[in-house]
Structure 1
């Protein structure tokens, strides 16, 4: 008596240039899909571990060890497929028909630990909607055993001949009165295999945009009602509200200006007391953002410093005053932050400010990893030795 015939499947693929990541949809403990039909209930997208780790510094033979590490955190899982399933483009031993997959949270974790900044941005742009939609997913189990693929109709007999399986009509996943073939007979046409996935993703993204648009309109109507019904109580807040609305209008028209954003951000910062210095989420967030911006400027500053050193190679021990060096070599935003931090605002005594500039210069040299003055070199050497 012959065994069950094998079904050859092609995993759908998500193009997140430059990466291409194949995936499946986990339906329950024993079933999966290659399409996500909203009316079929919730499904969890899982991304092929081999694609997630491709083109990273991790050697292929070490992938299983890393997969297991992420699986312990509920971010990855080893899926054992029934021997009835084989996958095009994947070499899997018949005796162990299993593959590693990652949740969307796992994909993001790997991306931000192992991808280049450009690839991290591509993942963020391509998968942020998926991440938002799966926020409440539970951690993955270490393993799953999947024996049913719900895209295809279940044959009347548990075992059929290969001819019967090939001739069986594929189930159509109906979405918005359009249908997409999920079990086409031409297995060599990769683009045909993946068209349905692109359609499904675009459809879900369109739905998400419609929900957001509806929410925005609802908020605007609510704002209109508040201002209409109670014109007096919001008088002190109207200028800030107007600034916000003007910026929204400019943003939607594609001509948002830095000056307008600056005025609005300052108005919001001054709108109220935002809490203790030691427990302010706002200050922590601003500090993180400023730090990231300043760190990103490091290469440009280094080039400027190197050019300065070349020009002054003959008089390296007779450099211009600290105030001139600070102004010439470092961004104004860095100077403003430190001057005000040190209590040396524009209204401060000019003589005091002048005397503090060597300290300001030294801080900027260390913070930007660019040593210019002799004092910086001596202190740096001393600190490294300790």
Structure 2
């Protein structure tokens, strides 16, 4: 009997929404395919358990226990592959060349027990046809021992250029008692473990980037179609659309300026009434972001305040007017927010603004934990005593 070369396999993958799920086709109790069956003979798609459990709350060391639980119900199986098979991108102990796989029914069970609602919806949308076609499948056995790969021509998409060069000629391999034509290479190290159960980081990033580019191009084509067929329906929105597109162009070219972002945000805010102030997610989001920005500025404000106190130590009882203090010590954005909140726009009378600025200064002192005026010190002392 001739020695069998190592057969390097890359499992195909299907789209499960935010996750990619690798799979095989179980033909019978000893055989499997990676490619579609040319004659549409009955096969059972099986989905890699490591991919189903990725990005869930289940710790990796607990995966085998969950796999066994699902296997008892016929939704999962432990497949023992012949030692001749090696898997790209999977860590499998050479002494125990086995992987856990799930039926499509098991995939749905895992999704509805462990996934978010959005991921559950993605599974429904992407796998409902498979589920319908396999609805009469029998429960899986606890384990299978597969020694025969029945692919007669591996898809070029499964291998890179170098792999295709190495695997260009079919090799006759004796695996156990079965004889099968496979595409393989004997250059692999049969004693080494495979990589961890995930795609290489660079490949994932490249694939993710390509997917995003495709999605962006599709959305732009859809926008082009809408504007071509129903221009009159978007007349009032065209100015805002133009501002957004100009920002996108500048962002891609790396020359987007803060002024342009300001105009875009204001244009979006003015497009419609965004709801009640008591239940506005938009206002909550803006408020949260502003609060974080202002909180991050606290240390620099404190430095300014300390420097100011040193310079004015001899005239603490004779400080400049509140408006000058606020302008000198606190960020303009803070003043702008509070002034408009208090109903004091730029058009307000000088007398009105002058009378309200001591209140604004006091708010800024308390909010930034930097007390400057005597009033702030007295009030703060009174408050903490209570």
| TM-score normalized by the length of structure 2 | 0.54
Relative to structure 1, the CA distance from residue 316 to residue 182 in structure 2 (aligned partners, 3 Å threshold; closer, same or farther) is farther
Offset from partner CA, 1:3-28 (integer Å, 9 cap, x none) = xxxxxxxxxxxxxxxxxxxxxx9x9x
| Equivalent residue, structure 2, for 1:302 | 302
For residue 278 of structure 1, report the CA deviation from its aligned partner: 0.6
Partner of 2:238, secondary structure, is helix
Q: Determine if the alignment matches structure 1 residue 43 to structure 2 residue 52.
A: yes
**Which residues of structure 2 form unaligned runs of 5+?**
1-20, 24-45, 66-114, 121-142, 148-155, 164-184
For residue 199 of structure 1, report the CA deviation from its aligned partner: 5.9
Partner of 2:232, secondary structure, is coil
Task: State how many pairs are aligned.
Answer: 240
Q: Determine if the alignment matches structure 1 residue 316 to structure 2 residue 316.
A: yes
For residue 281 of structure 1, report the CA deviation from its aligned partner: 0.8
Contact 1:44 1:134 in 2 (8 A): no
Q: Determine if the alignment matches structure 1 residue 79 to structure 2 residue 79.
A: no
Offset from partner CA, 1:77-134 (integer Å, 9 cap, x none) = 863979xxxxxxxxxxxxxxxxxxxxxxxxxxxxxxxxxxxxxxxxxxxxxxxxx999
| Equivalent residue, structure 1, for 2:179 | none
Pick 1 or 2: higher relative contact order, CA cutoff 8 A, min separation 6: 2
| Equivalent residue, structure 2, for 1:168 | none
* Alignment root-mean-square deviation, CA: 3.7
| Equivalent residue, structure 2, for 1:224 | 224
Contact 2:322 2:361 in 1 (8 A): yes
Offset from partner CA, 1:177-198 (integer Å, 9 cap, x none) = 14799987579xxxxx86x778
Give distance in 2, aligned partners of 1:75 and 1:351: 64
Match of 1:136 among 110, 119, 132: 119
For residue 201 of structure 1, report the CA deviation from its aligned partner: 2.3
**Which residues of structure 1 form unaligned runs of 5+?**
1-24, 28-38, 48-73, 83-131, 138-149, 157-173, 188-192
Q: Determine if the alignment matches structure 1 residue 370 to structure 2 residue 378.
A: no
Partner of 1:203, secondary structure, is helix
Structure 1 runs of 4+ off > 2 angstroms?
Answer: 39-47, 74-82, 132-137, 153-156, 178-187, 196-199
Give distance in 1, aligned partners of 2:308 and 2:188: 63
Contact 2:53 2:63 in 1 (8 A): no
Match of 2:159 among 173, 177, 186: 177
| TM-score normalized by the length of structure 1 | 0.54
Give distance in 1, aligned partners of 2:201 and 2:277: 44
Contact 2:304 2:329 in 1 (8 A): yes
Give distance in 1, aligned partners of 2:290 and 2:343: 19
| Equivalent residue, structure 2, for 1:207 | 207
| Equivalent residue, structure 2, for 1:275 | 275
| Equivalent residue, structure 2, for 1:114 | none
Partner of 1:317, secondary structure, is coil
| Equivalent residue, structure 2, for 1:240 | 240
Contact 2:330 2:364 in 1 (8 A): yes
| Equivalent residue, structure 1, for 2:15 | none
Offset from partner CA, 1:337-378 (integer Å, 9 cap, x none) = 000000010111110100111100000011111111111111
Relative to structure 1, the CA distance from residue 236 to residue 134 in structure 2 (aligned partners, 3 Å threshold; closer, same or farther) is closer
